[in-house]
Amino acid sequence: MKRFDTQRPEFSPYGFSCELWTPTRMSRPDRHNEIELNLLTTGSLTYLLGGKRTTIEAGRIGIFWAAIPHQIVDVEGDSPYFVVTLPLSEFLRAGLDMSFVNRILQGEFIVDLIRNTWDELSFRRWEQDLKTDSRVLQRAAGLEVQARMLRFSSGTTGGTIANSMARLTRADQLACYIAQNYQQPLNSQSIAEALGIHANYAMNLFRKTFGTTMTAFIIQHRLSHAQRLLVTTDDAILNIALDSGFQSLSRFNEAFKAGCGCAPREFRKANRPTATSSEPF
């Protein structure tokens, strides 16, 4: 049974996987460059992602891009839940409706409004298949995950989204303000002033609540924005850096390599879908 490791390096990949996790409040946000699908059999999980709280209830699938800082902040029940992680490049090659893809890459946490009785059986089968050394079973699981996402996306194109917004705490308000304004010049003083609180109080509260600094949180959002543009547009690297909120190309390159483990150009090359990649997995 897996549990969130607080010592886990950011952007350490999970790859294509389906595993059972122990529901646990996370002391800090996590980031990894995969699309994540969650399915609970009982209880609920509440995530903070992009400055918004979203609750997944038992029997419904939730999907989000895990490169965006995400953190489980509330748990009901102690039954294990399923987590599927799918590399971003495979998600982009799956032939999904582009409006659905863009919503995910722009930071929405989408929850399927329809409970499907067969989902738990499917997730259990994927978990077992991906434990084997059989390429056939692994590929079958990959195709079935792709098919489930196609059904998911066809049901959400019209904009149905279960975004359960609980009342935001003061710390959540800080995270929300950053998520909405990270493309602008920001520092702890300007953020605190915008919310009418003292900068030192804001910094201490943020670190205590989320296990990271506001500066690091700002950079995380900027990097996620840059990643999305790198894989979905042909924009110049400099334009992407500026659009993401970085003040210079050198600072962007430095932050990107530190946070993602490679240069922006290398990330784009590794994750852009290609015309010849018709078969995922």
Q: Which two tokens stand for residue 204?
A: 């201490």
* Helix (H), strand (E) at residue 70: strand 70-76
* Average pLDDT of the residues in 123-144: 94
| Domains of the chain (ranges, CATH numbers) | 17-156 (2.60.120.280), 170-271 (1.10.10.60)
Mean pLDDT, rounded, of the chain: 87
Higher pLDDT, 114 or 141: 141
pLDDT score of 167? 54
Question: Considering the chain, what percentage of its residues have pLDDT values greater than 90?
Answer: 53
Q: What is the pLDDT of residues 147-160, one digit of tens each?
A: 999 998 887 543 33
Task: Kindly report the pTM of this predicted structure.
Answer: 0.72
Question: Considering the chain, what percentage of its residues have pLDDT values greater than 70?
Answer: 92
pLDDT score of 156? 55
Q: At residue 69, does pLDDT exceed 90?
A: no
* Helix ranges, the chain (H): 88-92, 98-105, 119-129, 135-156, 170-181, 188-195, 199-210, 214-232, 237-243, 249-260, 264-271
- Order of all β-strands in the sheet with 44-49: 52-57, 44-49, 70-76
Q: For residues 57 and 43, what is the distance between their CA atoms, to the nearest angstrom?
A: 6
pLDDT score of 91? 87
| Greatest CA separation for the chain | 58
Annotate 198-250 with DSSP letters as a single string.
Answer: -HHHHHHHHHHHHSS-HHHHHHHHHHHHHHHHHHH----HHHHHHHTT-S-HH
Higher pLDDT, 228 or 215: 215
Q: For residues 53 and 46, what is the distance between their CA atoms, to the nearest angstrom?
A: 6
Cβ atoms 186, 218 nearer than 8 A: yes
Q: For residues 229 and 244, what is the distance between their CA atoms, to the nearest angstrom?
A: 9
